[in-house]
Amino acid sequence: MIGCGDVGQCYGRAFHQQGMNISDVFDIATTKEVSQLAESLNAQLHSEPGTWLAKADVVISAVFGAVAMQTFEKVAPYMKSNAIFADLTTAPVQDLNKAARQAQLHGVRFVDVALMGTVSLSGHRTPLFMAGQGGQALADLFQQIQAPVTVMDSPAGSAIALKLLRSVYTKGLEALAVECLIAAEKQGLTNDLFAALADLEKVKNSELMKTMVQTHVYHAQRRLLEVLESKALVQKNGVQPLVTEGVEQRFAYTSAQLETTPYVDQDGFSHSLKWLAKTEKEI
């Protein structure tokens, strides 16, 4: 186990309680807390990589994303052939791609593991997505502690990419909720707003997303006018329409694309999404 923050501690204890052998713990900060963790796991504590890594079948890295690549480069040369290096960090996709290529040179199986949630809330039951060589073997290990795992048929880097795409949506909703509710609160309409949104609670999130995308192409130009009115209302209540301005730009962009690339009238979410992807200009 490399890295003894919340994630490392969570899974380290879960594996130990299941009777699995965690032989070694590695953290550059050998604090009292880290020492106590290693002791509770009956593991040897290290502050530097070394030959002790050669006995590990699985090495789990739960360090900060900024040092994930550096950590892998230090550890990989000591690992035995066919061992699994599981990266549970939030490292950049390009770093994970690079690490996976280097892992092949060392004969190591590299698995990119993305936590779709936070261990502070769900502990070792936090949903995990795994991508890369050795994903299924690693999933079998995590399933022994009853961790919900989805194995992706994709190269390493795909799991963290999926997590970031999820964040585009969830953090976008968070920002919209903040902006919307501040304006509602200033008008004394907060509770009424929740009542007005009650119909959305009856629809699965995935179905809602598909419906919005499918109808977006048909109605972007008309809906743009409503977005502009919403933006004016937000501003009237003394709220900066930071997110609403982004929404306006997205609807305006689709409207402009419709002027140059008319949409062929065809039902279906997939057809709408393909048209949107085709007309999206690369930055």
- HEC string of 164-232? HHHHHHHHHHHHHHHHHHHHHHHHCCHHHHHHHCHHHHHCCHHHHHHHHHHHHHHHHHHHHHHHHHHHH
User: At residue 213, what is the residue type?
Assistant: V
d(CA 51, CA 31): 23
The pLDDT score that the predictor gives to residue 166 is: 94
Q: How far are the Cα atoms of 73, 169, 198, 236, 274 from residue 173, in angstroms, in the given order?
A: 37, 6, 16, 22, 23
Q: What is the pLDDT of residues 163-210, one digit of tens each?
A: 999 999 999 999 999 999 999 999 999 999 999 999 999 999 999 999
- Other C-beta atoms within 10 Å of 62: how many? 26
Asked if 109 and 82 touch (Cβ cutoff 8 Å), the reply is yes
User: At residue 165, what is the residue type?
Assistant: L
**What would the two tokens of residue 274 be?**
């393909």
In this prediction, what percent of the chain has a pLDDT beyond 70?
100
Query: Domain ranges in the chain?
Result: 6-155, 162-279
**What would the two tokens of residue 122 be?**
């769900």
6-155 and 162-279 share one fold:
no
Which backbone phi and psi does 4 adopt, to 5 degrees? -120, 40
**What would the two tokens of residue 23 be?**
């032989």
| Residue whose C-alpha is closest to residue 58's, from 17, 97, 20, 7 | 20
Q: What is the pLDDT of residues 91-133, one digit of tens each?
A: 999 999 999 999 999 999 999 999 998 999 999 999 999 999 9
The pLDDT score that the predictor gives to residue 29 is: 83
**What would the two tokens of residue 220 be?**
């972007």
Asked if 69 and 95 touch (Cβ cutoff 8 Å), the reply is yes
Q: What is the pLDDT of residues 10-27, one digit of tens each?
A: 999 999 999 999 999 999
Asked if 110 and 85 touch (Cβ cutoff 8 Å), the reply is yes
Strand 84-87 and strand 128-131: pairing? unpaired
Does the pLDDT value for residue 283 go beyond 80?
Answer: no
Residue 72 parent element (H or E):
helix 68-75
| Residue whose C-alpha is closest to residue 88's, from 4, 153, 181, 193 | 4
- Other C-beta atoms within 10 Å of 29: how many? 10
- pLDDT tier at 31 (50, 70, 90 boundaries)? confident
- pLDDT tier at 265 (50, 70, 90 boundaries)? confident
The class that CATH gives domain 162-279 is: mainly alpha
**What would the two tokens of residue 162 be?**
């999926």
| Residue whose C-alpha is closest to residue 14's, from 124, 172, 130, 175 | 124
The pLDDT score that the predictor gives to residue 17 is: 95
Looking at domain 6-155, does it have CATH number 3.40.50.720? yes
- Find the mean pLDDT for residues 143-160: 96
